[in-house]
Structure 1
Amino acid sequence: MEFLPPLLTLALVQVLAVVSPGQSFLVISKLALSAGRAAALSASIGMGLGSIVWATAAMVGLAVALKNDQWLYAALKFCGGGYLGYLAASHWRHAHDTSLGETRETGNVTLSRAFLQGFLTQLANPKVVIFFGSIFFAFIPPHAPTWVSLVCLIIVFFNETLWYSIVAFAFSIRKSQNFYYRAKTWMDRMMALILGAISLKLILDALRIAIGSFEG
C-alpha cells in the first residue's frame, strides 16, 4: 500500500500530460481524419511503445543517482513541479485555440507505416523527454522495488495507447470532432487548475526535502 498513492498520482499526472494537445495529438487526429481509424489506432500503439522507451531510459539512467542523493531528488521534484506549472499555463493560455492545422488526404497509409509514424513521433517529442526526465521520478521513491517500476511502465503504455486510441475513434467521427471544438475551452482550463495544484505541491515537497537535507 505504500506505493499505491504515488502510482495513482503518477497515473493521473501522466494522463493530464498526455491529453494536452500537442504534436502527438495532431498526428493521431490527422491520421484519423485522412487515413482512417485503423491507421490512427496503429499509430496509437506505436506512441505507447515509444513512451516505454523513454520511461525505461529514465529509470535506468536515474535510479542509481537518485538512490542516495536527496538534493538531486529534490531538484527533480522542483523541475517536475515547474514543468507541470508550464503545462498548466499552456493549457490556460491556449484554451481558446481550436485549430488542428490543415488536414489533407494522405492516400493509403499502411498499418505498419502508421505504427512507425506514431513510434517515431513519440521518440522525437520534446514533451515526452522532459516528462520522463523530471516528472517520472518526482513521484516514485528511489527505494521502490522492481515491481513498482514494471507497474510504471504498464501505466505509461496503457495511458498513452488508450488516450490516443480514444482520439483516433473521436476524430474519425465528425460529430465528436465538433463536440471537442465546443468543449475544449472549459476542458483545458479545468486541466490547468488541476495541474497547477499538483505543481505547487511538488515544489513545496522539493523545498521541504532540500531544507531537511541541509539541516541534516
Structure 2
Amino acid sequence: MTLAAFLAFALLSLFAAVSPGPAVLMAARTGLTEGFRTGALLAAGIGAGAVVWASAAMFGLNLLFAAAPALLWALKILGGGYLVWMGVKLWRGASQPFITADARPVPRSGASAFRLGLFTQLANPKPAVMFSAIFLGTVPQGTPAPVYAALLAVVFFNETVWNIAVARIFSLDRTRAAYISLKTIIDRSFGGLLALLGLKIAAT
C-alpha cells in the first residue's frame, strides 16, 4: 500500500468521523450535561465502535449484507429502535431541572460512558457499508496485516479525537450556561434529532 493511498484512507475516514450523526450528537450532549471527562470517555467508546464496523468491513461484512439483505434490515431496525428509545428518554426528561447554575449532575462512570459511546456507534450499521467503500477504494488486495492494524488505528484516532473535540466545545462554561437557560428546548431538540436519526436508519 502506497503512502498516498494510506493518506487517502486517513482523510476519507476523517470525513466519515466528522459527518453529523448519532455519535456526534451524543458526544455533544454528554459534554454539555456531564462534563469533558465523561464526554472524552464516551468518545473512546465511539472510536471503539467505529473500529468494530471497520473490522467488519475489512472482513467482507458488506458482501454478507448483499447476500443476506434481511440481516442488514434487522440490524437497522434494532439499532434505529435503540436510538429512538434514547431520544424518547431525552424528550421525556427535558423538563426536569438541571440542579443549579454552578453544579453538574453526577456524571456516569467511565465504563458506563464508554459503553454508551460504543452502543451508540454500533446502533448505526451504515458505517460498515461506508468503510467497505473506503477499503475498496484505497486499500489494495494483499495488504499486510500490520498495515490493516495501522488503518484501524487511524479509524480509532479520527473518531475518538473528533468526538473529544465536540465534547470539549460543548463542555465549556459559556455553552453550559446557555444550556441551563434553555434546557427543556435543547433536550427536546437533542431527543427529537436522535429519534429522527433512529427512524432514518431503520427506514433507509
Give the shorter-chain TM-score range.
0.5 to 0.7
CA displacement at 1:60 relative to structure 2: 2.2
Deviations 1:80-118 (A, max 9, x none): xxxxxxxxxxxxxxxxxxxxx979557532221111000
Deviations 1:59-96 (A, max 9, x none): 2236xx8xxxxxxxxxxxxxxxxxxxxxxxxxxxxxxx
Residue 154 of structure 1 corresponds to 153
Residues 52 and 153, structure 1, Cα contact 8 Å, conserved in 2: yes
Task: Say if 2:36 is the partner of 1:28.
Answer: no
Residue 132 of structure 2 corresponds to 133
Alpha-carbon separation, structure 2, partners of 1:17 and 1:175 = 28
Task: Say if 2:12 is the partner of 1:13.
Answer: yes
Letter of the structure 2 residue corresponding to residue 152 of structure 1: L
**Partner-residue secondary structure (3-state), 1:33:** helix
Residue 115 of structure 2 corresponds to 116
How many equivalent residue pairs?
141
CA displacement at 1:175 relative to structure 2: 4.8
TM-score by length of 2: 0.61
- Structure 2 vs 1, CA of residues 117 and 174 (structure 1 numbering), >3 Å: closer, same or farther? same
Residues 46 and 115, structure 1, Cα contact 8 Å, conserved in 2: yes
Alpha-carbon separation, structure 2, partners of 1:109 and 1:145 = 40
Residue 188 of structure 2 corresponds to none
Alpha-carbon separation, structure 1, partners of 2:41 and 2:169 = 15
What is the alpha-carbon root mean square deviation over aligned residues?
Answer: 2.7
Alpha-carbon separation, structure 1, partners of 2:149 and 2:2 = 13
**Partner-residue secondary structure (3-state), 2:134:** helix
Matches within 5 A, 1:160-175: 160-175=159-174
Deviations 1:177-211 (A, max 9, x none): 9xxxxxxxxxxxxxxxxxxxxxxxxxxxxxxxxxx
Alpha-carbon separation, structure 1, partners of 2:5 and 2:116 = 32
Residues 3 and 148, structure 1, Cα contact 8 Å, conserved in 2: no
TM-score by length of 1: 0.58
**Partner-residue secondary structure (3-state), 1:143:** coil
- Structure 2 vs 1, CA of residues 146 and 108 (structure 1 numbering), >3 Å: closer, same or farther? closer
CA displacement at 1:149 relative to structure 2: 0.7
Alpha-carbon separation, structure 2, partners of 1:51 and 1:137 = 17
Alpha-carbon separation, structure 2, partners of 1:58 and 1:25 = 21
**Partner-residue secondary structure (3-state), 1:171:** helix
CA displacement at 1:168 relative to structure 2: 1.2
CA displacement at 1:146 relative to structure 2: 1.6
Residues 56 and 128, structure 2, Cα contact 8 Å, conserved in 1: no
Alpha-carbon separation, structure 1, partners of 2:57 and 2:2 = 19
Alpha-carbon separation, structure 1, partners of 2:135 and 2:163 = 20
Alpha-carbon separation, structure 2, partners of 1:110 and 1:151 = 30
Matches within 5 A, 1:21-170: 21-61=20-60, 105=98, 108-170=107-169
Gaps of 5+ in 1: 66-100, 178-216
Residues 28 and 164, structure 1, Cα contact 8 Å, conserved in 2: yes
CA displacement at 1:122 relative to structure 2: 0.9
Alpha-carbon separation, structure 2, partners of 1:55 and 1:126 = 11
